[in-house]
Amino acid sequence: MALAFRTCVVVYWLALVIWVSVLISAGVAAMSAFTVLPEESLGLTLERFAAYEPDHGRIAAGKVLEPIFTFVDVVQVASGSVVLLMLILMFTLFGREYGQSWKRPANLARMLAILLAAGLFLVRAITITPEMNRDLQAYWQAAEAGEVERAAALRESFDSLHRRARPLFDGSLLALLVAVGASAVATLPRRFGAPGQSSKLDPPALLNRPRS
């Protein structure tokens, strides 16, 4: 049973770290791309969008990041599912035997934080992301066709949706950081031992020697 618990904890931590890592990586990538590529000093021009003069740097950044954010969402679904599954196994199979009662403050904190992160992701993925993707694709099509006014309207619509999605994205990351801290407390190495295993140190050998 101890090996099963260790395996559960390792898989849990691996999935949780991946979940946090992809969110941080996506944020850093977006910050870098939309800071560097739109700079006028680069003189970036896209032949495919020659009929649309403005925003070539922004379009290039979007083309780079669109598949990245799609991949990030897929990873979030996979890693989040594994984290929740491992959490359920910890609470149901190991429970009090390994200090994994859901009523413990650390376990309650990480459970609520993970559920909040998953909930914010689902709200964004279901209610905002599909419309954002439609506007983005339509914006690129209008820009390629040289439809300046339509492209500007679609860009404004996309930016409005992005402003709504950003707090949800940041909220998920913040909740996961809280979950990492709570998980560190809930899965301390001392919990890895066998049930009831004493943590007391053996007395020094010198104290056990008979006196002459």
Question: Residue 114, Cβ neighbours under 10 Å: how many?
Answer: 22
Using a pLDDT cut of 90, give the percent of the chain over it.
51
Q: Would 142 be classed as within a structural domain?
A: yes
Q: Determine the pLDDT at residue 194.
A: 42
Residues 144, 78: contact at Cβ < 8 Å? no
Q: Would 210 be classed as within a structural domain?
A: no
From the number of C-beta atoms within 10 Å of its C-beta (0-12, 13-18, 19+), residue 61 rates as buried
Q: Would 165 be classed as within a structural domain?
A: yes
In terms of residue numbers, what domain contains 42? 2-192
Kindly report the pTM of this predicted structure. Answer: 0.79
CA atoms lying within 13 Å on the CB side of residue 14: 10
pLDDT tens digits for range 107-148: 889 999 999 999 999 999 999 999 999 999 999 999 988 898
Q: Would 29 be classed as within a structural domain?
A: yes
Quickly tell me which residue has 């860009």 as its tokens.
155
Through-space distance between the first and last CA atoms of the chain, rounded to whole angstroms: 46
Tokens of 185: 């407390």
Q: Determine the pLDDT at residue 106.
A: 83
Q: Would 198 be classed as within a structural domain?
A: no
Q: Would 202 be classed as within a structural domain?
A: no
> How many folded domains does the chain comprise?
1
Q: Would 87 be classed as within a structural domain?
A: yes
The one-letter code for the residue type at 159 is: D
Q: Would 209 be classed as within a structural domain?
A: no
Tokens of 142: 């209008």
The one-letter code for the residue type at 56 is: H
195 has a pLDDT exceeding 60? no
95 has a pLDDT exceeding 90? no
